[in-house]
Copies of this chain bind each other. A is one copy, B any other.
Amino acid sequence: MALAGFSSAPIGGNAPRYWEDVEVGERVRSAEFAFSPENIVAFASRYDPQPMHLSEATAAKSFFGELIASGWQTACETFRLMVDARPLGSTPLVGLEIKELKFERPVRPGDRIYAEGEVLERRASKSRPERGIVIMRVVTKNQSDQPVMSQVWVAILPTRKAPPLS
């Protein structure tokens, strides 16, 4: 599943990365997460208790006609995969905003997802020289490499003018 230009290892390692270190066009690819009927129903029971996510029986009569994962589960699993990929090394992923989040395709039991991140833009903070902004596209794909979710994240991170953070 390795693609040219993607790293499946944590690209940032354990060292902190700063705003100045991040390059436009930089890419990261995460590990995978597998959806099951059990984890779909468990997540939905807590956060999205609607018929298409709660059981095969209720889903069969629903909008989608089959059991599918909550889009919020896909978003949360994508975030976990990206945290583990450590694109910023030991510098945390801190979001200011998500500029768009599209539910591209249903995610079904048995689907395996991974996330690809790409840095679109790096922007200085006008008001805070110790912080900078990085804009990343994050696309979650299934085992057939079809996008199931796409997002644009606006993240804030320390510049080299800031004290180190964990």
**Which range holds the interface residue count of chain A?**
20 to 34
Which residues of B have CB within 8 Å of A80? 46-49
Q: Within the oligomer, what is the number of copies of this chain?
A: 2
Render A149-166 as a binary contact track against B, CB cut-off 8 A, 1 for contact: 000000000100000011
Interface secondary structure of A, over-half rule = mixed
- B50 and A83: CB pair below 8 A? yes
- Whether A23 is near chain B, meaning CB under 8 Å from some CB there, is no
- Whether A22 is near chain B, meaning CB under 8 Å from some CB there, is no
Which chain B residue lies CB-closest to A59? Answer: B166
- B95 and A103: CB pair below 8 A? yes
Which residues of B have CB within 8 Å of A51? 92, 166
- B49 and A93: CB pair below 8 A? no
Contact of A49 among B47, B48, B83 (CB under 8 A): B83
- A62 and B165: CB pair below 8 A? yes
Which residues of B have CB within 8 Å of A99? 100
- Whether A61 is near chain B, meaning CB under 8 Å from some CB there, is yes
Binding site for B on A (CB under 8 A): 46-52, 58, 61-63, 71-72, 75-77, 79-80, 83, 92-103, 158, 165-166
Nearest 5 CB-CB pairings of A with B:
A98-B101, A47-B76, A50-B92, A97-B102, A51-B166
Starting from the known contacts A63-B165, A95-B103, A101-B101, 14 additional A-B residue pairs (CB-CB under 8 Å) come to A47-B76, A47-B77, A47-B79, A48-B80, A48-B83, A52-B92, A61-B165, A63-B158, A71-B95, A72-B75, A72-B76, A97-B102, A99-B100, A100-B100
